[in-house]
Chain A
Amino acid sequence: MSWFSNFLTSSIGQKVVMSLTGIFLILFLVVHLAGNLQLLYDDGGKKFNIYAEFMTSNPLIKTVSYLLYAFILLHAIQGWVLWRKNRKARGPQRYAVKTTKSVGTNSFAASNMGWLGTIIFVFIVIHLYQFWLQMKLGNLPMANYDGKEVKDLYAIVSVAYDNLAFVIFYVVSMVVIAFHLLHGFQSAFQTLGINHNKYTPLIKGIGKAYSVLIPLGFAIIPVYMYFFH
């Protein structure tokens, strides 16, 4: 094996894969939220639909989106492999009594990243089926803005967010993502070897703010649309 494949299959290398794909997904969530917040405009979905059209037709963004699909899969598969290996490393006999404490991170989130990730993966599959696949392949109604025909993604979003069960599912999923990020954000930097007296408190602070604000921003959208649109 070459040094690179040796590195990628080593324990630290596999964690670096989790860290780098995780940081990419963290950045993606910011862009995704910025776009989605346009759903809150009271314009019958005009801004959002034009934005969705742009995101699915711009060649550069399309390229990045393929990278995104690959990284989501890589993060999920690598995470699942690590989860299995780690369970095996604990051995066949479990502790009868065990307390797990943490310093500088949330011990519940830190020791349940696999479960949290699994829930998020299920959420992503449903989420992609409901919106992304419909945008790509579905028979969407068309909207006409100043002579330009675009797919009316807003229409299916607002139908979905009229359903209370889906709004609850969405909000609960955001809480799960918040916990995943609460540990994952700062953990990604530690894995890359970044732990410094000056910068780590800053990274942890930004990580906490990010893990609360971003999922909160996402959760506000269905709740707002359910009650006000």
Chain B
Amino acid sequence: MNLTLKIWRQKSPKDKGRFETYKVEASPHMSFLEMLDVLNEELISKKEDPVTFEHDCREGICGTCSLVINGQPHGPNKGTATCQLHMRHYKDGDIIVIEPYRAAAFPVLKDLAVDRSAFDRIIQAGGYISVNTGAPQDGNAIPIEKDQAAKAFDAAACIGCGACVAACPNASAMLFVSAKVAHLAMLPQGKVEAKRRAQAMVRQMDAEGFGMCSNVTACEVECPKEISVKNIARLNREYLSSSISSETKV
């Protein structure tokens, strides 16, 4: 199949950037990233600069791949990352527009790669539990109710890829932050620091320059792990109640 790709090329964070058009011949069995690999092989053989894009595990669990494909983060399929998208979903002659995530908090580094370290700083602010290291506890030492465990697990499925920010008209990181806060707040090990965590993570999220949640729900639609906006309601609850009940005066 012959495809026309319109790819955002940007030499550096300071470069203005522009779209470049490429022709590529792909097989329907290829993954989307393999199709980009083919393009890059060609560019390298022509002594041109290959397109920079991020990838790692290529099986939908690491959250490294990104890309906004024809206006949708991770492409047209539901509940999958870009690396799980295959060329059989396209047809011969298709024009595919490929852009990086667009958000002030995710500046473009080069071409399609953006700096998502804002997410790391949000996690560092409170997306963890404090435990003594040593021998692991017995798996069932603390009983957790089944429904609660399932909900916590659904939230924990977040791979931190940032598609929620890319999909959001406000570039809000609320789905990501809510998944982390909800996941830990629903488990006994995470409850201990729940109040401090909700406050610290929201503070860091605001400091990074992400937008506010308008409850558009585009994040849930585009999330490769189908994280529900119910988690955002939980984050709102956690934040509201911790603001009111926390004994810290500031």
Interface residues of A (CB under 8 A from B): 1-3, 6-7, 10-16, 82, 85-86, 88-105, 107, 110-111, 113, 183, 186-187, 190-195
Residue of A nearest to B221 (CB): A101
User: Would you give the shortest CB distance from B246 to chain A, in whole angstroms?
Assistant: 7
| CB of B28 within 8 Å of the partner chain | no
Interface size grouping (class) on chain B: 35 or more
Contact, CB under 8 Å: A190 / B232 = yes
Interface residues of B (CB under 8 A from A): 6, 8, 17, 19, 68, 70-72, 97, 99, 102-108, 167, 169-172, 174, 202-203, 205-206, 209-218, 220-222, 229-230, 232-240, 243, 246, 248-250
Given contacts A11-B202, A90-B103, contact A190 B216 (CB under 8 A): no
Give Cα A116 to B237, complex, Å.
28
Given contacts A93-B102, A96-B97, contact A187 B248 (CB under 8 A): no
Given A91-B107, A98-B71, output 9 extra A-B contacts at Cβ < 8 Å.
Answer: A6-B250, A10-B203, A12-B213, A85-B211, A91-B104, A94-B102, A99-B70, A190-B215, A192-B240
Residue of A nearest to B169 (CB): A111
Given contacts A90-B103, A95-B68, contact A183 B215 (CB under 8 A): yes
Tell me which residues across on chain A come within 8 A of B97, comparing CB atoms: 96-97
Tell me which residues across on chain B come within 8 A of A194, comparing CB atoms: 233
Tell me which residues across on chain B come within 8 A of A104, comparing CB atoms: 217
Contact, CB under 8 Å: A90 / B167 = no
Contact, CB under 8 Å: A193 / B221 = no
User: Would you give the shortest CB distance from B228 to chain A, in whole angstroms?
Assistant: 9
Can you list 16 A-B pairs with a CB-CB distance of less than 8 A?
A2-B250, A82-B212, A82-B214, A85-B211, A85-B212, A89-B172, A90-B104, A90-B170, A96-B8, A96-B19, A97-B71, A107-B218, A111-B216, A113-B214, A195-B230, A195-B234
Tell me which residues across on chain A come within 8 A of B237, comparing CB atoms: 193
Given contacts A3-B249, A89-B210, contact A102 B205 (CB under 8 A): no
Contact, CB under 8 Å: B104 / A89 = yes
Contact, CB under 8 Å: A100 / B104 = no
Residue of B nearest to A16 (CB): B240
Give Cα A2 to B214, complex, Å.
26
Contact, CB under 8 Å: A193 / B210 = no
Give Cα A90 to B99, complex, Å.
14
Given contacts A89-B171, A96-B19, A96-B97, contact A105 B217 (CB under 8 A): yes
Tell me which residues across on chain A come within 8 A of B174, comparing CB atoms: 11
Contact, CB under 8 Å: B236 / A190 = yes
Give Cα A207 to B220, complex, Å.
21
Tell me which residues across on chain B come within 8 A of A103, comparing CB atoms: 217, 220-221, 229
Give Cα A2 to B244, complex, Å.
12
Residue of B nearest to A183 (CB): B215
Contact, CB under 8 Å: A110 / B167 = no
Give Cα A158 to B104, complex, Å.
51
Give Cα A82 to B210, complex, Å.
12
